[in-house]
């Protein structure tokens, strides 16, 4: 800080491109101000100031002066002074970080009111009641957020006052009653904090600003950021904005609107309006709103201006926008806009609509959707309701099909989910404290609030199924039950089903069906036909364009003909990993046992000879399903004891048999073999290439099966493209030995069959040493496939089968990493080894083919990394293939 830092910007000084500095809200208020839209004047305190505050525990020394300067300008523009007793300027103090964190941080409205200025507000507004109501709202919000007083103290006092008047409606309290409520609230402040509610308007404002800064580190904000992967050190900006009032009577109101339907993407203005209400009432879902179109009847001029403003915003931002607005005595004010959150389906539909409207091009449409969104669209949906009984229909707030046991509090949701139960969280309305319960639940059902209520907004953001505003349900959270209109009582633990796409709620479990998008990938829906809806057509257009742009190839990990065929339908161009171990299970276990127990070369060869035709049949079918495309067959990887009985179990069996007079010879031999093969650390033991080198004839048998299957396919007119992959190589010598053997077998089969089968021979890079010595290894490998599952395991020293359950939740809680490295590639660590492998491998063999076949091949962020380091393809599970195609396209743009 050199004394020249600008900490405060007037709304007219910023732009939408300064989100990092001014926060999303501040940047967009600036943009709207500069577009000439009706924004109440104000200024933004930067995220720099917040970071300074969080770091030093105090505001920058020159912040107060800069705020004074901007406040003076604001007062001049408005022709009023903050908290002036005769005609007070009032301001709101609102949080606004660069990344949207809806409802996670604090806001204080009506700052500037005190015992004197409340009289001025009454005189100016012509309403004593309004003025005293505004004052009690300030003390309530300020008390709760700035002074840390339990909000319930205020709510109880307000309820008490209503009870005394024999009502339960705020509106039945008149000015005198509210004056009395203000006295009670002031007493609460005094009793709780030992001092009076601050009367100095500037002190109110400064304290509110600091409270907003502090709210960056509130527990719920921290939890939200961790979940949304928002950096913890970004800080929030603070917007100080002159107040406009939506609660000045029937000609006033407040609303939230979208320029298109954020649920489906359908065109047309869309939103909720609440007459004679202030600020947060709509978002909080406290009272039920009316549809925005009703505003046309209430005030046609305001409605027209709003619709025109929204059209302008949409063409300016070239995207769906959401807005918050207030009408004060027939005058429209814009309080906020931003590029709006939307469901996954709406994201695709809107992206292609905007292309058709000429606002963006297809490249941009591809950028605007994500693999995560596509993944959401591949979830199943409800079919007919089956035996379940429909209870009601609420609003379709966030799509999906959720089935689970009803629970009525966040704590219960977490508790039940921890026990492995699927639950649906049922609330009258949610608030930010419900976040952990929403995360734990399959879906969320509320009886109050519109599509912009907290439950709806947060659920959409998390991709969680949500039905909101199911008003017919009487939710009784205290007694943990709700009552449906037909009198049915649903208690905690009863199974319900909720459909976030239609808003329907059922008692019982509703069966689910595949998504339309999956049916399109399966080839069951032709995107050009009448069967295809807007969503299927959009997904088709976006993916076709992504395919045209991407450099990365996409293959699948598949080891059955069915999976291979599905992967192909989903757009895979080959198999990047065919694991052969499943082919050693089931009935074949017997043969594997024979192989392991074999006494002498002849017995071993006998066992291998019995396995070979079975292996050959596996490959035949897979080559047929992937005809004309590469199929990378990985030779056997897991340790042999995985195919044998469990040591403890077998020992017990033998002990029991001995007690009864003796175990048979075969069982004793088996036990000896199991004991001989037992390993403390099987993942680091006799597996992969090590097994191939130690068990004579095993890999040769697999190679022969591959070669013979390829010959047979060729004779049948097919075009098999086998690639042979050696797992777990750490040293080139290991690879050389197996390679020589494989080439010998291949040549032999070709000679015997009279067919020239070419098969590339390559290796997995999944041991750190292989990455480091990639130059040597490339001398013997025609391709590398990075096995990032094992590479992650061995780089971190994390047992891939144990750590996620054992302690990853603690690591995630402590922020040691934001996401499991088994899920999303650890770029600086494991990623660096991949880079080294690529560089050294290509340096030694420029035409080396490079791919990845660990789980990361289907993870969006990791796909971008693999594109950046120059791999040729990614390989992932069949269902992730479309996601990899899309992300590979996005990575190339």
Cβ-Cβ contacts under 8 Å for 406 (sequence gap 6 or more):
423, 424, 426, 445, 482, 490, 491, 492, 493, 494, 495, 496
Positions 788 through 817 that interact with ligand PEP (CB under 6 A): 788-790
790 annotated ligand-binding residue: yes
Helix residue ranges, H only, 79-174: 117-125, 128-141, 151-164
As to burial, measured by CB atoms within 10 angstroms (0-12 exposed, 13-18 middle, 19+ buried), residue 775 is middle
Q: Which is nearer to Mg ion, 201 or 831 (CB)?
A: 831
First to last CA, the chain: 39
Distance from C-alpha of 300 to C-alpha of 306, rounded to nearest angstrom:
10
Q: Which of 70, 177, 454, 641 is catalytic?
A: 454
Closest CA to 778 of 792, 761, 790: 761
Q: Which is nearer to ligand PEP, 502 or 789 (CB)?
A: 789
Candidates 182-190, 592-600, 783-791, 883-891: pick the segment binding ligand PEP (CB under 6 A): 783-791
Q: Which of 50, 321, 853, 876 is catalytic?
A: 853
322 binds, among ligand PEP, Mg ion, none (CB under 5 to 8 A by kind): none
CB of 787 to Mg ion, least distance (A): 4
Closest CA to 281 of 88, 450, 418, 100: 450
Q: Can you tell me which of 365, 518, 853, 874 binds ligand PEP, judged by CB under 6 A? A: 853
788 binds, among Mg ion, ligand PEP, none (CB under 5 to 8 A by kind): ligand PEP
Strand pairing class (575-579; 553-557): parallel
766 annotated ligand-binding residue: yes
φ, ψ (nearest 5 deg) of residue 666: -60, -45
Candidates 126-134, 242-250, 642-650, 785-793: pick the segment binding ligand PEP (CB under 6 A): 785-793
Q: Which is nearer to ligand PEP, 259 or 702 (CB)?
A: 702
What Rg value do the Cα atoms of the chain yield, rounded? 33
788 annotated ligand-binding residue: yes
Distance from C-alpha of 193 to C-alpha of 883, rounded to nearest angstrom:
55
- Map tokens 């017990």 to a residue: 652
CB of 638 to Mg ion, least distance (A): 9
Q: Can you tell me which of 280, 563, 734, 790 binds Mg ion, judged by CB under 5 A? A: 790
Query: Does the protein bind ligand PEP through residue 690 (CB under 6 A)?
Result: no
328 binds, among ligand PEP, Mg ion, none (CB under 5 to 8 A by kind): none
Q: Can you tell me which of 766, 826, 859, 887 binds ligand PEP, judged by CB under 6 A? A: 766
As to burial, measured by CB atoms within 10 angstroms (0-12 exposed, 13-18 middle, 19+ buried), residue 24 is buried
Q: How far is CA 101 from CA 6, 213, 432, 515, 618, in A?
A: 25, 14, 10, 30, 52
Q: Which is nearer to ligand PEP, 382 or 808 (CB)?
A: 808
Paired tokens of 800? 């891939």
480 binds, among ligand PEP, Mg ion, none (CB under 5 to 8 A by kind): none
Size of the residue set binding ligand PEP (CB under 6 A): 10
CB of 784 to Mg ion, least distance (A): 13
- Map tokens 């719920």 to a residue: 220
- Map tokens 């659920």 to a residue: 459
634 annotated ligand-binding residue: yes
Cβ-Cβ contacts under 8 Å for 403 (sequence gap 6 or more):
422, 424, 442, 495, 496, 497, 509, 510, 512
Q: Is 468 labeled as catalytic in the residue annotation? A: no
787 annotated ligand-binding residue: yes
CB of 578 to ligand PEP, least distance (A): 11
CB of 636 to Mg ion, least distance (A): 12
CB of 637 to ligand PEP, least distance (A): 6
Paired tokens of 791? 């590479």
Q: Can you tell me which of 24, 285, 768, 854 binds ligand PEP, judged by CB under 6 A? A: 854
8 Å CB contact between 747 and 703: no
Candidates 239-247, 295-303, 371-379, 787-795: pick the segment binding ligand PEP (CB under 6 A): 787-795
Positions 569 through 598 that interact with ligand PEP (CB under 6 A): 577, 579
579 annotated ligand-binding residue: yes
Q: Is 454 labeled as catalytic in the residue annotation? A: yes
Positions 437 through 456 that interact with Mg ion (CB under 5 A): none
Paired with 270 in beta bridges are 258
Distance from C-alpha of 576 to C-alpha of 183, rounded to nearest angstrom:
73
Closest CA to 144 of 162, 130, 158: 158
Q: Which is nearer to ligand PEP, 787 or 837 (CB)?
A: 787
Kindly write down the DSSP assignment for every residue of 351-363, as one continuous string. HHHHHHTTSS-HH
Candidates 307-315, 617-625, 638-646, 783-791: pick the segment binding Mg ion (CB under 5 A): 783-791
Active site residues: 454, 853
Residue ranges of the binding site for substrate: 579, 634, 766, 787-790
- Report the binding-site residues for Mg(2+): 766, 790
Q: Which residues bind Mg ion (CB under 5 A)?
A: 766, 787, 790
The residue ranges that bind ligand PEP (CB under 6 A) are 577, 579, 637, 766, 787-790, 853-854
């Amino acid at each position: 800080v050199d004394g020249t830092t600008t900490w405060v910007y007037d709304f007219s000084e910023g732009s939408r491109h300064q989100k990092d500095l001014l926060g999303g809200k501040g940047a967009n208020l600036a943009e709207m101000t500069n577009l000439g839209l009706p924004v109440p004047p104000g200024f933004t305190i930067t995220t720099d100031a917040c970071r300074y505050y969080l770091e030093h525990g105090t505001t920058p020394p020159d912040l107060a002066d800069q705020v004074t300067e901007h406040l003076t300008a604001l007062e001049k523009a408005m022709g009023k002074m903050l908290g002036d007793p005769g005609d007070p300027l009032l301001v709101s103090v609102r949080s606004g970080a660069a990344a949207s964190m809806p409802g996670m941080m604090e806001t204080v409205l009506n700052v500037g009111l005190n015992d004197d200025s409340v009289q001025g507000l009454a005189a100016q507004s012509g309403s004593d009641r309004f003025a005293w109501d505004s004052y009690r709202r300030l003390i309530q919000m300020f008390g709760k957020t700035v002074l840390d007083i339990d909000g319930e103290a205020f709510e109880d006092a307000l309820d008490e006052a209503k009870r005394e008047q024999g009502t339960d409606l705020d509106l039945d309290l008149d000015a005198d009653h509210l004056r009395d409520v203000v006295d009670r609230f002031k007493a609460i402040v005094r009793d709780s904090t030992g001092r009076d509610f601050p009367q100095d308007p500037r002190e109110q404002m400064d304290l509110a600003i600091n409270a907003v800064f502090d709210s960056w580190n509130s527990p719920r904000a921290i939890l939200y950021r961790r979940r949304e992967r928002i950096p913890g050190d970004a800080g929030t900006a603070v917007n100080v904005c002159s107040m406009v009032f939506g609660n000045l009577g029937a000609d006033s109101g407040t609303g939230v609107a979208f320029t298109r339907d954020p649920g489906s993407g359908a065109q047309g203005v869309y939103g909720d309006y609440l007459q004679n209400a202030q600020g947060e009432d709509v978002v909080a879902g406290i009272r039920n709103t009316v549809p925005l179109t009703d505003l046309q009847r209430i005030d046609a001029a305001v409605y027209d201006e709003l619709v025109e403003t929204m059209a302008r915003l949409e063409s300016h931002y070239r995207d769906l926008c959401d807005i918050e607005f207030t009408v004060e005595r027939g005058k429209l004010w814009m309080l906020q806009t931003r590029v709006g959150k939307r469901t996954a389906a709406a994201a695709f539909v809107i992206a292609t609509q905007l292309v058709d409207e000429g606002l963006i091009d297809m490249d941009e449409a591809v950028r605007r959707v994500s693999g995560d969104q596509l993944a959401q669209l591949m979830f199943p949906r409800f079919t007919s309701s089956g035996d379940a009984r429909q209870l009601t229909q609420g609003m379709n707030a966030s799509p999906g099909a959720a089935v689970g046991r009803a629970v009525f509090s966040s704590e219960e949701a977490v508790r039940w989910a921890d026990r492995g139960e699927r639950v649906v969280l049922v609330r009258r309305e949610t608030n930010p404290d419900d976040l952990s319960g929403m995360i734990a639940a399959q879906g969320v059902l509320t009886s109050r609030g519109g599509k912009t209520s907290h439950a709806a907004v947060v659920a959409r953001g998390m991709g969680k199924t949500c039905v909101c505003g199911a008003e017919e349900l009487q939710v009784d959270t205290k007694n943990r039950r709700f009552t449906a209109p037909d009198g049915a009582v649903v208690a905690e633990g009863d199974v319900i089903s909720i459909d976030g796409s239609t808003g329907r709620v059922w008692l019982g479990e509703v069966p689910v069906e595949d998504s339309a998008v999956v049916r399109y990938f399966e080839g069951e829906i032709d995107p050009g036909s009448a069967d295809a809806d807007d969503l299927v057509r959009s997904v088709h257009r976006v993916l076709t364009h992504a395919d045209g742009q991407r450099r990365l190839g996409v293959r699948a990990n598949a080891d059955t003909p069915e999976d291979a065929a599905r992967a192909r339908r989903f757009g895979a161009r080959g198999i990047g990993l065919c694991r052969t171990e499943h082919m050693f299970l089931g009935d074949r276990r017997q043969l594997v046992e024979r192989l392991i127990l074999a006494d002498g070369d002849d017995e071993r060869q006998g066992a291998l000879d019995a396995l070979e035709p079975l292996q050959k049949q596996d490959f035949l079918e897979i080559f047929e399903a992937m005809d004309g495309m590469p199929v990378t067959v990985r030779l056997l990887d897991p340790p042999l004891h995985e195919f044998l009985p469990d040591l403890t179990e077998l020992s017990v069996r033998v002990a029991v048999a001995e007690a009864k007079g003796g175990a048979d010879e075969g069982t004793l031999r088996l036990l000896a073999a199991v004991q001989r093969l037992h390993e403390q650390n099987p993942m680091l033991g006799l597996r992969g290439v090590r097994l191939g080198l130690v068990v004579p004839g095993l890999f040769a048998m697999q190679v022969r099966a591959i070669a013979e299957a390829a010959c047979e396919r060729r004779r049948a007119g097919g075009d098999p493209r086998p690639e042979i992959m050696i797992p777990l190589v750490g040293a080139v010598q290991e690879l050389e030995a197996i390679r020589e053997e494989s080439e010998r077998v291949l040549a032999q089969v070709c000679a015997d069959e009279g067919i020239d089968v070419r098969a590339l021979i390559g290796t997995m890079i999944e041991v750190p040493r292989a990455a480091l010595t990639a130059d040597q290894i490339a001398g013997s490998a025609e391709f590398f496939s990075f096995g990032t599952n094992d590479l992650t395991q061995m780089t971190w020293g994390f047992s891939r089968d144990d750590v996620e359950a054992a302690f990853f939740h603690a690591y995630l809680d402590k922020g040691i990493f934001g996401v499991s490295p088994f899920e999303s590639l650890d770029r600086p660590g494991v990623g660096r080894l991949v880079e080294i492998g690529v560089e050294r491998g290509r340096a030694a063999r420029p035409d080396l083919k490079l791919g990845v076949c660990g789980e990361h091949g289907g993870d969006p962020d990791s796909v971008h990394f693999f594109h950046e380091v120059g791999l040729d393809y990614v390989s992932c599970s069949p269902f992730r293939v479309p996601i990899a195609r899309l992300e590979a396209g996005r990575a190339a743009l």
